[in-house]
Amino acid sequence: MTKLLIASDHAGFVLKEKLKDYLQKKAIGVKDLGTYSLERCDYPLYAYELAKNISNGKFKRGILICKSGVGTSIVANRLPRVRAALCDNLRITKLSRQHNDSNVLVMGSAFVKADLAKRMVSAWLNTKFLGGRHLRRIKLINQIDKKIRSSAK
C-alpha cells in the first residue's frame, strides 16, 4: 500500500532516488510523481501534482525536493489543506510535525545531503502532532485560507 508521495525537479532527482530506495527498504510504500531523470524540468508542475493529491485527500503526506526547496514550498502551500514545511535540519523537521502538523516535507538538495535527509524523513514520519494550542493555530490558518479564497471570487 502506498503511504507517501515523493516528487522532485531535476536538481532534486538524485536525492529523491536515494530517499525512495531508503523508504522502500523500510517497507514504506512510495509513489513517485517524477521527475524521472536529470533532464532540466519545471518544478512547479511536480510540486503542484503532489500538493493536489494531498489537498484532495488522496494521500496524507508527501516529500518534495528541488535545489533550494523554496519554489516547491511556494507552489505546494497555495493549495488548501497543504502545510508544506521547508526543513534543513532535524529540529525544524520535528517542530514542523509537532507544532504545524506538516503534511509535506520539503528539502533543498543543495543544503541537505542524503544521510541527513534520511534522518529527517524518519523523524518526520515518526513525530506526532501535539495538538492543543497548536491545533487552535492550524484552525486559524484554515480560517484565513477560507477568507482569502472567498474574497478572491
8 three-state secondary structure: strand
- Confirm whether 66 is a catalytic residue: yes
Catalytic residue among 10, 41, 87, 99: 99
Catalytic residue among 41, 66, 87, 134: 66
Contact 9, 76 (CB under 8 A): no
- Cα distances (Å, whole numbers) of residue 16 to 13, 80, 132, 134: 5, 25, 34, 30
Q: Which residues are catalytic?
A: 66, 99
